[in-house]
Structure 1
Amino acid sequence: MVVSLFSLEGRTALVTGSSRGIGYALAGGLLEAGARVVIHGRDVAAAESAAARLGELTGGEVRVATFDVTDPEAVDAGVAGIEEVWGTPDILVNNAGIQRRTTFVDFPVSDWHDLVATNLTSAFLVGQRVARGMVTRGSGKIINIGSVQSRLARANIAPYSATKGGIVMLTQGMCADLGPHGIQANALAPGYFATELTRALVDDAEFSAWVAQRTPAGRWGQVHELVGALVFLASSASDFVNGQVIYVDGGMTAVI
């Protein structure tokens, strides 16, 4: 009984930005838990390659979608394409995101707009489009990917922190509107994880020493350590959990 609560057999998941990094690991975890998964990215070749690797590794059923998550018309068409084949996803993971680093006074307005569009507006657009089908069905799980920067600031990434703070309030707003329709919307907030996207920081001895000193666990996270919390939020085990943020950060947000 308890184990079956975490099973995702028979469910469909869409993970945006899942051709690499954290999104790739999250998609793999959902596949291993029994879901069939739509791998998403802007780069068709990268998305297809990721889907092929994950399908081979897990034996799970995988499809590919490559729509622009910042374009309302593209989102509508992309989700419609998924629905034609697999129906409205049971699970949506809004993971697509980018990072830009510059001091606040020198931060280009164009970079601000790019960050807001990719990190926050995309979660609204894809979340809204998928939620319409979830409301009709009367069930669904939305997991928005936040960050320790949803709660903590650091120099040179103020706009990124603003977008990740916005993810928390968007999640709570989704909970308020969608909860009555049997839909749970929660956020998963990673700390500092070693991925190909953070390789330069991992290889920076001074920065890695700061991460180890600042994190009670004393190290960088490994992407597989996000999967347990994700499966919990995507499964029936979390049916009465709504509007919450789970920080998977080795304790970083718990200490000063």
Structure 2
Amino acid sequence: MEHYLNRLLESRGWHFISYCLLLIILAGCNSGQAPKAYSQTVLSEVALPQPRLSSSISLEEALLKRRSLREYSPRPPELAEVSQLLWAAQGITGKDYPFRTAPSAGATYPLETWLVVGTITGLEPGVYHYKIASHSLEFAKRGDFREALSNASVFQQHVKLAPATIVLTAVYERTTERYGTRGGMYVYMEAGHVGQNICLQAEALGLGTVPVGAVDEQAVAEILGITGSNQVPVYIFPFGHKP
């Protein structure tokens, strides 16, 4: 028996299995303490309607119908629809621990969610930060920044014409401090998870959106008012009602 065990330990197959097990353990571990999951910033706070937990459209139907949409109706989205989109992106779903709607490597939650508003019923035009813990919006800056955001997105006109845009930023250190250089890859994976949630929730609401990755990070950071911070813009989602 010992002879066969030694041969197994020396085999390439065992090394591969050990490597896979190590990755699984690292991805699932946590320190036992909730990580810093959101920033406390800005001026005033806007309470959001509670998200609904059921829908008349199935997940399969949302997957079937989802398309990238670059044209939007002039009808502004309602605050309840914005609330639902933000919850789908990063909302808390756990009771004893603040797990979210999208998976995160080691529950490090490196992403922050912002909202650049032009025309949303119940919201003044400006920049808002999604405060995940209380499911509310922190009002950061007044003004319509859609044209500036369009310019920072390689002049994509649908960003300018959309009623509002969700902006994801990354605090890489939350993940790289645990996983080293691989943490950067995990951050991008998480942005993809969140992005798909946004796209599918938009479809379920009868809204449309399109993921945009071509952004000038420095220019977007200036719009959000986070220049010089450890947040880096990584992904934006202009959205609105279908025409």
Structure 1 length-normalised TM: 0.30
More helix by share: 1
Task: Choose between structure 1 and 2 for higher RCO, CA contacts under 8 A separated by at least 6 residues.
Answer: 2
Calculate the TM-score normalised by the size of structure 2: 0.31
- Find the structure with the greater CA-based Rg: 2
